[in-house]
């Protein structure tokens, strides 16, 4: 639109100038004056030159406008490319942050689990006095033989990837005030009609944990007894 307006204005101005020049020539001829060689000439070539100038000006304006449109298109494409790059960079940063947070949380959980393994995971159970079958009309409970002992199993849960370092065993009467550290025994040791039987063993418990277990036998007919294991492990 700007090119058209400029071309029309140029054309109108040229026509006005040609008309004014023609009138001056007509007035000079009417007065009997010979036309000046500099002012004389053919109108059609002049008019054609004006038209050529108008068309050339219009074409130049269109070319500049097209060039500007091309520059705008290139600029838009470059801006879109930069926006895509920024978006991709933001996604990468977000993923890196999430991975870092996940790694930090995993390291924290591992540190906690390692401290837990060093301290040990405990399992405790209490068993009542052993009751043997009564002989005749006797009122007092008969003493149990070891073959008639109450048998149970203590199990502590640890991570599936844990490596067991040690299984400590403790036992004391139910009513005892003795600290657990002073009630430690070894597997097979007689602890007053009670003992831990055989070696400890493990069994799976899902995909993330496992059980460390120890058998315990109790045949005291006078008092109940508590048993405890403490499993220490590493990761």
**Per mean pLDDT, which range of 36-45, 87-96, 167-176, 223-232 is the poorest?**
36-45
Please choose, from the candidates 115, 112, 150, 117, the residue with its C-alpha nearest in 3D space to the C-alpha of residue 131.
Answer: 150
Select the more confidently predicted residue: 10 or 196. Answer: 196
Q: Is the pLDDT of residue 161 over 80?
A: yes
Q: Considering the entire predicted model, what is its pTM?
A: 0.55
Residue 162 sits at φ, ψ, to 5 deg, of -70, 145
Residue 160 sits at φ, ψ, to 5 deg, of -65, -30
Q: How large is the average pLDDT for residues 43-47?
A: 59
HSE toward the beta carbon, residue 152, CA cutoff 13 A = 18
For the chain, give every domain's residue range: 2-34+41-93, 120-131+144-234
């Amino acid at each position: 639109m700007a090119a058209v307006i400029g071309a029309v204005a140029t054309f109108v101005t040229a026509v006005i100038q040609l008309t004014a020049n023609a009138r001056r020539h007509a007035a000079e001829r009417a007065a009997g004056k010979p036309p000046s060689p500099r002012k004389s000439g053919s109108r059609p070539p002049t008019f054609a030159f004006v038209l050529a100038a108008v068309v050339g000006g219009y074409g130049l304006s269109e070319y500049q406008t097209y060039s500007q449109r091309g520059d705008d298109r290139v600029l838009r494409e470059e801006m879109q490319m930069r926006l895509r790059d920024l978006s991709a960079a933001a996604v990468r940063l977000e993923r890196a942050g999430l991975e870092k947070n996940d790694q930090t949380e995993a390291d924290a959980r591992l540190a906690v689990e390692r401290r837990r393994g060093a301290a040990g995971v405990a399992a405790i159970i209490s068993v009542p006095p052993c009751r043997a079958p009564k002989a005749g009309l006797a009122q007092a409970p008969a003493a149990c033989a070891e073959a008639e002992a109450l048998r149970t199993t203590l199990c502590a849960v640890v991570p599936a990837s844990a490596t067991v370092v040690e299984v400590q065993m403790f036992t004391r009467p139910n009513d005892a005030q003795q600290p657990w550290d002073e009630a430690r025994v070894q597997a097979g040791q007689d602890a007053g009609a009670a003992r831990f039987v055989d070696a400890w063993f493990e069994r799976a418990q899902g995909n993330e944990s496992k059980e460390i277990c120890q058998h315990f036998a109790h045949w005291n007919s006078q008092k109940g007894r508590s048993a405890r294991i403490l499993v220490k492990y590493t990761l």
